[in-house]
Amino acid sequence: MTTSQYRTTTAGTRLAGSPDERPTMTLPQTQSTTSPQAESPSAVRKFLKIFGGLLVDVGLPMAAYYGLRSYGFSEHVSLLAGAGVAGVRLLFGVFRAGKLEPFAGFMLLTYLLALPLVLISGDDRTLIIKDSLGTGITGLIFLASCFVGKPAMFHAGRRFRSAGDNVEEWEGLWGTNPGFRRTFTLMTAVWAVVLLAEAAVRVGLAFVLPIDVMVALSAVLGMGTIALLLTWTIIYGARRQRRLKQAAHAG
C-alpha cells in the first residue's frame, strides 16, 4: 500500500459519510448548507486528485523498471531503480507536507528494510513483495483495531470530517450510538480482510510468475483492490445515509 492509497482510504470514509441509525441525533456530515450539485464537483475533484497521486505513485516506478528493461538492463538493476524512484517520491511527499505522517514513516521503514534484504539475499522478488508486506501489515492493524480501541476507519473518517464537525461530536456518537459503532467496525473489518487476502495473493503470485509480469500485475492488483474497497465503502455509506433519512421522515 502506498501513501496515496492510504489517502484514498481515509478520503473514502469521509465521502461515504457518517451513517447512523438514530434520527434524533445530529450527525457529522449528514447535514449540509450546500446543494448536492455544489458538493458533487468538489468530491469529483478530490477523487481525481487522489487517484492522480495514486497513478503517479504506481506509474513512476513502473516506468523506471520497464524503461530500463527496454534498454537491456537486468531485472535486478531495474527493480532497484524502480524502488529508488518510489523512495524519492515518498520523500518528496514528506518534504512537501512538512511533516512525517505515521503511515509515510511506516512505508519509509519498509523501504529501508527491504533494500538491505535484497542486497544480502540477492532475491529480487523481495522488492516485489515489499508493497504486499505493507498492505498485509495494514490489514492486521485494521483487524486489531476492531477489537482494541476504536476501528481504524473511525479515525480515518474523523480526520477527514467536514469543517463544521468537531472531535467531541464524533466521540459522543461513538460512546452513545451502537449503530454508529457497528458501521465503522464493519467497514474496518471488511477492509482488513480484503487487504490481507490481496497481500497473500500478491505474495503467492510473486513466487510463481516471472518478474517482468509481476511488476505490472502487482500494481494492477493493488490499485484494483483499493478501487473496489473504496466503491463498496461509498455505496455502503450512502445506503446507511438513506436509512437514516427514511427513519427521520418516518419519525
Question: Concatenated DSSP letters for 183-240?
Answer: HHHHHHHHHHHHHHHHHHHHHHHHTTS-HHHHHHHHHHHHHHHHHHHHHHHHHHHHHH
Q: Would you say residue 250 has pLDDT above 90?
A: no
24 phi and psi angles, rounded to 5 deg? -85, -5
Distances (CA, A) of 95 to 91, 160, 246: 6, 21, 46
Mind listing the pLDDT tens digit for each residue in 25-71? 334 544 444 444 444 455 556 666 666 667 777 788 888 889 999 99
**For the residues 169-187, what does the mean pLDDT come to?**
81
- Output the pLDDT for position 214: 92
Is-contact 180 20, C-beta < 8 A?
yes
pLDDT at residue 47, as a whole number: 60
For the segment 9-13, the average pLDDT, to the nearest whole number, is 55
The answer to whether residue 16 scores a pLDDT higher than 60 is no
Confidence grade of residue 104 (pLDDT, cut at 50, 70, 90): low
- With CA atoms as reference, report the closest residue to 216 among 226, 206, 201: 206
Average pLDDT over residues 8-36: 46
User: Mean pLDDT over residues 80-100, rounded?
Assistant: 79
- Give the range among 4-13, 128-137, 242-251 with minimum mean pLDDT: 4-13
pLDDT tens string 211-248: 999 999 988 888 888 888 888 888 887 787 677 667 65
- What pTM was estimated for this model as a whole? 0.74
- Looking at per-residue pLDDT, the higher value among 24 and 184 belongs to 184
Give the pLDDT of residue 190.
95
Q: Distance between CA atoms of 248 and 207, rounded to whole angstroms?
A: 54
Q: Is the pLDDT reported for residue 164 higher than 60?
A: no
Q: 20 versus 234: which is more confidently predicted?
A: 234
Model confidence band, residue 170 (pLDDT cutoffs 50, 70, 90): confident
- The predicted pLDDT at position 76 comes to 82
Cβ atoms of 4 and 57 closer than 8 Å: yes
Distance of alpha carbon 191 from alpha carbon 237, whole angstroms: 14
3-class state of residue 24 by DSSP: coil
